[in-house]
Structure 1
């Protein structure tokens, strides 16, 4: 069966390295190029993004991103507001890892930001090879935590 592009995943089977792999709890338990994480269509191609949607809107306290292969390419993390606009939570240059390792990065949210989606921007040309994300968690100001229930991305290695 030929691969199909999935524009917006909301449930069902997950493709190897598809953006839908970043939905749900982390399930890549060791670093490496493993199909249970999202990877862009091409390595080192420049800007890519991954958007995750959550069951309920939340007053954000923190966004946690779990990278599982060649970490350090994240350049910006945003909350997607109900009107579709983006509120930047963090923007900068991460230190690339000296070794391939699982890295969980916490991005605290300043001010009052309520959102049901977040978006992670990466510069895949910054860290050689595929830069993979296993999961993205949102933490509410009330202490609640949610793993994503839906996803979309600029591209996925699983796309035709």
Structure 2
């Protein structure tokens, strides 16, 4: 009887060990970056290099505007309802982009497109419209692409530059962006049949 009990316990422990080890492969670490430099089609504060003058450079670094409202620490296009405006952002490291998080701190809802610089050409990562009553508002944009009919949760190319396009006619009043976080990976990967596939 004791032998049967020992064998039974051994099988249970072995089964648990196998189950614990079948959680899937270890995935690459996701990296988060904030812009180190920026430029824009226009800025209410001109083309200065300070983070508190409404210029494009005010959108660099991590978020530093905590409340909704006009704030010189956020990029502000030069004029409201002036149709299309753009903000280009540069990051320290090239990544396969998986997520873009745009923090809008005044007049959110005007972003219509986000592109990444692919070589010498801008490639669309997201395009669309949305409405929100929240302010500040974090516009979270997951990036997806296809790899042989498999959905991959990141871009097909590495980039260290993003361009955000606004249609300022969509939202009455001024539009301000505090920061644009870019998340992604150094390696393009996906999981197929519990196996990590890298490129």
**2:126 equivalent among 62, 67, 90:** 90
Question: Is it true that 1:110 corresponds to 2:147 in the alignment?
Answer: no
Determine which structure has greater relative contact order: mean sequence separation of CA pairs < 8 Å that are 6+ residues apart, divided by chain length.
Answer: 1
Q: Which has the larger radius of gyration?
A: 2
- How much does 1:75 deviate? 0.5
Cα distance in 2 for partners of 1:110, 1:41 equals: 33
State the TM-score, normalized to the length of structure 1: 0.77
The 5-angstrom pairing of residues 7-156 of structure 1 reads: 13-81=50-118, 83-95=119-131, 97-98=132-133, 101-111=135-145, 112-141=156-185
TM-score between the two structures when normalised by the length of structure 2? 0.62
Question: How many residues end up aligned between the 2 structures?
Answer: 134
Give the C-alpha shift of residue 24 in structure 1. 0.3
Structure whose residues are more often helix by fraction: 2
Query: Which runs of 5 or more residues in structure 1 are unaligned?
Result: 143-160
CA RMSD of aligned residues (A): 2.1
- CA displacement, residues 15-53 of structure 1 (integer Å, 9 cap, x when unaligned): 511110100000001010111100100111000000100
Q: Secondary structure at the match of 1:21?
A: helix
- Quick one: structure 1 residues 108 and 115, their matched pair in 2 at CA, closer, same or farther if it must change by over 3 Å? same
Offset, 1:134: 0.3
List gaps (5 residues or longer) in structure 2.
1-43, 146-155, 187-199
